[in-house]
Structure 1
Amino acid sequence: MKLKTAKRWFNWHKWTSLICTVFLLYLCITGLPLIFHEEIEHLLEDNKTAVTTGQQKLSLDKLASIAESKYPGEKVRYVFWDENDKNKVLFDVVDKPDAPYEKSKYLVLNEYTGEVLGAPKTDGLMNIILKLHTDMFLGIPGKLFLGLMGMLFMISILSGIVLYGPIMKKFDFGMVRKNRSKRLKWLDTHNLLGIAITAWMAVVGFTGVINTLSDVILGLWQQGQLAEMTAPYKNQKPLTGDFSSLEEAKKSAEKTITDMKVSIIVFPGTPFTSKHHYAVFMHGNTELTSKLLKPVLIDAKTGDVTDSRDMPWYVNALFISEPLHFGNYGGLALKIIWTVFDVFTILVLITGLYLWIARRRAEKQQWKTISKDEER
């Protein structure tokens, strides 16, 4: 590599790394507990059992009525199921369908008895850490800013690879010069750790950038596929009054897509459907397909299925990226691997910051020496 080219790559690596280092440290530290968020939440929550045998499940309409009775004058807008919480269903109750998420009241019910099992803590420790990690409590601007830091991180990874290749032609791969200066020893350690976990950093960095674009991706889906699916209802007046049976909407979706399970039901008027449809989101049964959703739109007046399509590639990319970013595939073993690599990344960032500070000090000392020689 020519000297001029190498210097250009070095500058790219130095400045992109410097700009994003503090924020990446912040993301790595807040990301550590989120790798085990399911396990931590399980320990913190009241583990009131909902397992019931020998009974028939109550209809969703009855369960929704129980949830709404706890908040008079308000209505259900989302219904959620979690494969890890058998026999439980979660209702989101609000005063109007387009209310901000901060206004949501959540209730977990036993599907067999209708017993209210409590509510997830939206202001709990893990939710606070998640907000810190995803948008720093700044909403969409915070997400996009962290996405920009992620892009700089990807550039620093690429430039680091470009620089490391020519260096290793002159030395043994993975060498750490322990008998040289402290700065050289830290430089070799930084390079070795960085190149060893490059693939992991690239995966987590890239999926992180995709996750910060979730609101943009939702907007594209709303204006694209969702608009096409609901086009015949575009000029109709929004539905008012009672909707068709929620239980029948669930059964219709299950009959339409027999090899998938219901994950979420969305009521008319929310951002994930139209003002005329239930949207029943189905998920697959394998580790990968369980992360992907497929919508079934059901006319909330007649109860008829009107459309169902596979999600566009960019939405599926988001669905896959979110769990992959936190190592939420393959159980505890992968989470432990993610934790080890996260710690190594923290070390790479700290050593990189140390090397920049040490280099600055060396340059200042060199200038002082030159100045003294000139005075003499």
Structure 2
Amino acid sequence: MKKSQFWRKKMWSLHNWIGLYAGVVIALLSISGVVALFKVELDKTINPSLYKVVPKSEKITLTPIIDSLKSVYGHDTFNGIKFSEKPDESVVVWFFMNKSSFEFINWEIFIDPYSGKIVGERDYFTTFAYFIRHLHVRLYEGLLGRKIVGIAGLALLISTITGFWIYGGFMKKQFFGAIRKKNLRIVSADYHKLIGITSLFFNLVIAITGAWLGLQGWLQPIVMESGRPNKYHAIEKPLSQENDTKYSFSFEDAYATSRQLFPEFIPQTLVSSKDGSRSVSIYGTVPRTAFERESFVITLDKETFEELHRFDIRKASFGKKLFFIQESMHFGDWGGIWLKIIYAFFGITSGFLAMTGFLVYLKRTERKRKTDHNFTALKPLLIKWVLGILGTLILLAVLTQFYGMVLPSIIVITTFYSWLLFLIIREITRSIKRKILYSKEAI
């Protein structure tokens, strides 16, 4: 066997193995990722009564209203303020409450900035926006879910590279884009190759950034300091933690000062310190930059509004720029709605590749599988998988709506690890049985 044929065979085996064992996860991440691209837009469309307000000539001062809310919900639970992105949108105030070891609430209060009226309240953890984000980022599994997603990103990366390697030989034999109508296996294989080569660059970007975002907890300490590079770390802390959380200051003045000191800066979220540093950090973006949302930061003293810290990514090191470009490249939220639509078009391709690859595998192994007493024909097998996955997702969505994140996460964790343990025990048992059988045959 020639060396090139040997390596092509190895790549083919690796490509098939990854597709078989990681294909379902990649398909789920592909579909959920496309929906997650529009989670903000969908949330505002689903809940117009929370977000939409009637614009007036002047906005009122919200500081007294927010201070009164802090007194009701607890100063230490105050998590931040989301400023209006448009004149006809409400301001959102967050309170994060840890009621017990198994009950967390991220309470959102929507305020009309023109009248000061509270237009609605909700727990963010019960929303569709959180459901789709948590599903895509962690597979709704709180312990190792993010790492599993990162490993799936590595699987997509290897699958994309090996697929391109394999397809190189076919390009010489078959005109690019030609779809042979011989049978389901051939049709699926040709579409698999066509979509794979067309979306090659996009899937490489998604795979690399997805792997980094998922495995960031492991990789970041190796390549750079831990934590987010734009965080303000105070050297001096003039207040106690209790007094810091209760410290009253003008949120409007903090907003205006950040705009005055950093004219290009568009403030989006305000977070007040709780560690005694007497600081307020305003997170936002700078137009025409391809960095993650709310990665630019300016931190002020709550008392004097003196600038304590500024993080302008354009002046940061290459490593920090790389850190803040990963998520924006992965979700495409730096170029407006049209870029998201382009991302959605290409984003579904990895799921399509996983499904067509699975079809090819099932048809290729159909004759061998028919000898198994548990054999299931292709159509009912696909229906069973699709209904099973959809049913699980619907169940998680309903439970999230009524119980927040904790109960669905516990269900996923227990079922996932039970299923994984079952597979491991089954494979070990089968391996032992095969060894015993071979030993008897040898005798």
Q: Above 0.5 in TM-score?
A: yes
Cα pair 1:67 1:93 within 8 Å, conserved: no
Aligned amino acid, residue 262 of structure 1: P
Aligned residue in 1 for 2:365: 360
Shift of 1:362: 4.7
Identity of aligned residues (%): 20
| CA 1:333–1:267: 2 relative to 1, 3 Å | closer
- Number of residue pairs matched by the alignment: 357
* Gap regions ≥5 residues in structure 2: 372-443
Cα pair 1:283 1:293 within 8 Å, conserved: yes
1:252 and 2:260 aligned: no
Aligned residue in 1 for 2:78: 76
Higher deviation after alignment, 37-46 or 282-291: 282-291
Question: TM-score by structure 1 length?
Answer: 0.80
Aligned residue in 2 for 1:116: 118
- Residue by residue, what CA displacement relative to the aligned partner does 1:121-161 show, whole Å, maximum 9, x if unpaired? 52123322221221122225101111101111100100111
Structure-1 separation of matches of 2:227 and 2:136: 28
Give the 3-state SS of the residue equivalent to 2:104 in structure 1: helix
Shift of 1:324: 4.3
Structure number with higher helix proportion:
2
Shift of 1:217: 8.5
Shift of 1:275: 4.3
Alignment match of 1:150 (pick from 149, 153, 164): 153
Alignment match of 1:136 (pick from 123, 135, 139): 139
Alignment match of 1:13 (pick from 12, 15, 19): 15
Structure-2 separation of matches of 1:303 and 1:101: 36
Structure-1 separation of matches of 2:370 and 2:67: 74
Structure-2 separation of matches of 1:319 and 1:72: 33
Question: TM-score by structure 2 length?
Answer: 0.69
Aligned residue in 2 for 1:370: none
Higher deviation after alignment, 355-364 or 253-262: 355-364
- Residue by residue, what CA displacement relative to the aligned partner does 1:248-283 show, whole Å, maximum 9, x if unpaired? 43333223212212111111137xxx7442212232
Cα pair 1:210 1:318 within 8 Å, conserved: no
Cα pair 2:298 2:307 within 8 Å, conserved: yes
Structure-2 separation of matches of 1:290 and 1:226: 12
Aligned residue in 2 for 1:54: 57
Give the 3-state SS of the residue equivalent to 1:232 in structure 2: coil
What pairs up with 1:207-246 in 2 under 5 angstroms?
Answer: 207-213=209-215, 225=229, 230=233, 232-233=235-236, 238-241=240-243, 242-243=246-247, 245-246=249-250
Cα pair 1:292 1:319 within 8 Å, conserved: no
1:65 and 2:70 aligned: no
Structure-2 separation of matches of 1:281 and 1:339: 27
| CA 1:100–1:41: 2 relative to 1, 3 Å | same
Aligned residue in 2 for 1:40: 42
1:346 and 2:348 aligned: no
| CA 1:262–1:170: 2 relative to 1, 3 Å | same
- Residue by residue, what CA displacement relative to the aligned partner does 1:324-364 show, whole Å, maximum 9, x if unpaired? 43444544444443343344433321121122223333567
- Residue by residue, what CA displacement relative to the aligned partner does 1:191-248 show, whole Å, maximum 9, x if unpaired? 1221122222223333323332566689866658567x535327x7644424362434
- Residue by residue, what CA displacement relative to the aligned partner does 1:302-322 show, whole Å, maximum 9, x if unpaired? 542222132455555455443
| CA 1:8–1:217: 2 relative to 1, 3 Å | closer
Shift of 1:86: 4.1
Cα pair 1:80 1:265 within 8 Å, conserved: yes
Aligned amino acid, residue 261 of structure 1: I
Structure-1 separation of matches of 2:218 and 2:365: 40
1:160 and 2:163 aligned: yes
Aligned residue in 1 for 2:108: 106
Structure-1 separation of matches of 2:95 and 2:184: 60
Cα pair 2:97 2:107 within 8 Å, conserved: no
Aligned amino acid, residue 243 of structure 1: Y
Structure-1 separation of matches of 2:219 and 2:84: 24
Aligned amino acid, residue 299 of structure 1: D
Cα pair 1:50 1:87 within 8 Å, conserved: yes
Aligned residue in 1 for 2:299: 297
Aligned residue in 2 for 1:283: 285
Aligned residue in 1 for 2:378: none
Shift of 1:94: 4.2
Higher deviation after alignment, 327-336 or 162-171: 327-336
Aligned residue in 2 for 1:325: 330
Give the 3-state SS of the residue equivalent to 1:139 in structure 2: coil
CA RMSD of aligned residues (A): 3.5
Give the 3-state SS of the residue equivalent to 2:282 in structure 1: strand
Aligned amino acid, residue 183 of structure 1: R
Alignment match of 1:191 (pick from 180, 183, 193): 193
Cα pair 1:140 1:215 within 8 Å, conserved: no
Structure-2 separation of matches of 1:263 and 1:90: 11
Structure-2 separation of matches of 1:323 and 1:233: 34
Aligned amino acid, residue 260 of structure 1: F
Aligned amino acid, residue 139 of structure 2: M
Shift of 1:301: 5.1
Aligned residue in 2 for 1:373: none
Structure-2 separation of matches of 1:161 and 1:25: 19
| CA 1:182–1:87: 2 relative to 1, 3 Å | closer
Give the 3-state SS of the residue equivalent to 2:140 in structure 1: coil
What pairs up with 1:14-33 in 2 under 5 angstroms?
Answer: 14-33=16-35
Shift of 1:102: 2.7
Aligned amino acid, residue 173 of structure 1: F
Higher deviation after alignment, 134-143 or 321-330: 321-330
Aligned amino acid, residue 6 of structure 1: R
